[in-house]
Amino acid sequence: MGWQKRIDAALITRREQDAYRSRMVNQGGGRWLTQQGQRYLNFSSNDYLGLSQHPAIIDAWQTGATRYGVGSGGSGHVTGYTDAHAALEGELAQWLGYPRALLFVSGYAANQAVVAALMQSQDRILADKLSHASLLEAAAQSPATLRRFAHNQPAALQRLLEGDCPGETLAVTEGIFSMDGDSAPLGALHALTQARGAWLMVDDAHGVGVCGEQGRGSCWQQGIQPELLVVTFGKAFGVSGAALLCSESVADYFLQFARHLIYSTSMPPAQACALRAALSCIQQGDALRDRLGRHIAQFRAGAGDLPFTLMPSQSAIQPLIVGDNAAALRVAQRLREQGFWVSAMRPPTVPPGSARLRITLTASHTDEDIARLLSALHTAAHEQEEGANE
Ligand SMILES: *Cc1c(COP(=O)(O)O)cnc(C)c1O
């Protein structure tokens, strides 16, 4: 067929499915998003506590850059591991109650690294069906067998665990699911893996900072300590990067075998400084979490009678399932015309037929913002129904 033909055909297919993705330049940050001179209230960022704009964190990054320069200069194994990185790792481990924390440049890299370094050909990965692309992709690329279990169904995991496996078993889930906003039944899942000598890996990208005492996340909130916990810093922390929390020996193992740590430049030390400041904001962030909680309650109370499916989510992620790709895009477009930035999520990011508006609420919104969004949603839904009946 030839490379160019293959690429052109793939793009045409995407367009035909209303699944074509493109980026737009955005000049905003935080509560607002500015595009082509137009300002929108931003309901699609993962900056759940508004920390990306926090003066103390910005200041810590700047001070860090003045002290350390802007780059780490190498992988952590060479020269890229500074006292700023070490201090952050120590604080994270202590905060989350683990012996060790290891920093990664992103959650994507952390998930890939953990799965790649652990899994061998006799092993199996049992992953919640809705686990993040970074986890499922790492599992699919690994020599281990990948089996997916029904979303948030411990009984489905149990059936898989009862099957024979010549090697080791790693069960994988998210704490709060990125597209549905619901929480995993972590206690039940961990009890099952423990009973079978399997390990549990929890990716708490959307829980850490937001739920649990001091923002310690889903595992803390549900009273479990999985063998492997991944937390990411691009969401509630408002920055970027990730960490793996684990035991002493597992951390030492990853320092030998996690290629993303060995062959990749570590995060800038100034970023580690910013993350330490962000951690401190999160530890003291009860007021921000209360405010976010109020917005979630307000949104759910007002969205129940929309002609879309409101998911059973208590988190900052409040998806409204529209179903059809084109309809979801139309509603998002209508909201945009009214000054609200809401993302339409379509397959393959979400299962076929479940295109949705992925609305994210943050502590930087005001009560008034939420009320205005609800009113715009009712208008857009009404117009969508009229359009469908014509
Ligand atoms: C965002 C996200 C990631 C990726 O983290 P990055 O730091 O953005 O690479 C991984 N897992 C889940 C569940 C996520 O939502």
Tens digit of each residue's pLDDT (9 = 90 or more) over 196-219: 999 999 999 999 999 999 999 999
Is 3.90.1300.10 the CATH classification of the domain at 55-283?
A: no
Q: How much distance in Å is there from the Cα of 204 to the middle of ligand 1?
A: 9
Question: Sorting pLDDT into bands at 50, 70 and 90, what band is 289?
Answer: very high
Question: Sorting pLDDT into bands at 50, 70 and 90, what band is 349?
Answer: confident
Query: Angle at CA 178, nearest 5°, toward 175 and 183?
Result: 35
Question: Phi/psi of residue 330, each to 5°?
Answer: -65, -45
Binding residue numbers for substrate? 21, 132, 349
Q: What is the mean pLDDT of residues 296-303?
A: 97
Percentage of the chain beyond pLDDT 90 is 91
The domain spans of the chain are 27-49+285-389, 55-283
State residue 223's pLDDT score: 98
Residue 339 in this model has a pLDDT that exceeds 90:
yes
The b-or-e profile of 236-261 (16+ CB within 10 A means b, else e) is bbbbbbbbbbbeeebbeebeeebebb
The tokens of 185 are what? 């039944």
State residue 382's pLDDT score: 87
Q: How much distance in Å is there from the Cα of 159 to the middle of ligand 1?
A: 28
Give per-residue pLDDT as tens, 2-57: 999 999 999 999 999 877 888 888 877 789 999 888 999 999 999 999 999 999 99
Active-site residue flag, 206: yes
Catalytic residue among 54, 132, 295, 365: 132
Is 104 touching ligand 1 by the criterion CB < 6 Å?
Answer: no
Is 203 touching ligand 1 by the criterion CB < 6 Å?
Answer: yes
Is 242 touching ligand 1 by the criterion CB < 6 Å?
Answer: yes
Active-site residue flag, 203: yes
Give per-residue pLDDT as tens, 52-104: 999 999 999 999 999 999 999 999 999 999 999 999 999 999 999 999 999 99
Question: Phi/psi of residue 76, each to 5°?
Answer: -60, -25
Q: Among positive and negative, which fits the CA dihedral 98, 100, 104, 108?
A: negative
Binding residue numbers for pyridoxal 5'-phosphate? 107-108, 178, 206, 232
Do residues 306 and 357 make contact, with C-beta atoms less than 8 angstroms apart? no
Q: What's the CATH class of domain 27-49+285-389?
A: alpha beta
The tokens of 164 are what? 């024979």
State residue 305's pLDDT score: 93
Ligand 1 pocket: which of 203, 237, 244, 260 to mutate (most atoms within 8 A of CB): 203
Q: How much distance in Å is there from the Cα of 250 to the middle of ligand 1?
A: 22
Indicate the average pLDDT of the chain.
95
The tokens of 344 are what? 């339409």
Active-site residue flag, 168: no
Q: Scanning the structure block, which residue is given the tokens 């595992």?
A: 219
Using CA atoms, how far residue 233 sits from 85, 224, 240, in Å, is 14, 21, 5
CB 109: neighbour CB atoms within 10 A?
Answer: 18
Do residues 169 and 126 make contact, with C-beta atoms less than 8 angstroms apart? yes
Q: How much distance in Å is there from the Cα of 108 to the middle of ligand 1?
A: 6
What are the start-end ranges of the E strands in the chain?
A: 32-35, 38-42, 100-104, 124-128, 145-149, 169-174, 199-203, 228-232, 242-246, 309-310, 317-323, 340-341, 343-345, 355-360
Active-site residue flag, 354: no
Active-site residue flag, 324: no
First to last CA, the chain: 43
Active-site residue flag, 132: yes
Residue 389 in this model has a pLDDT that exceeds 90:
no
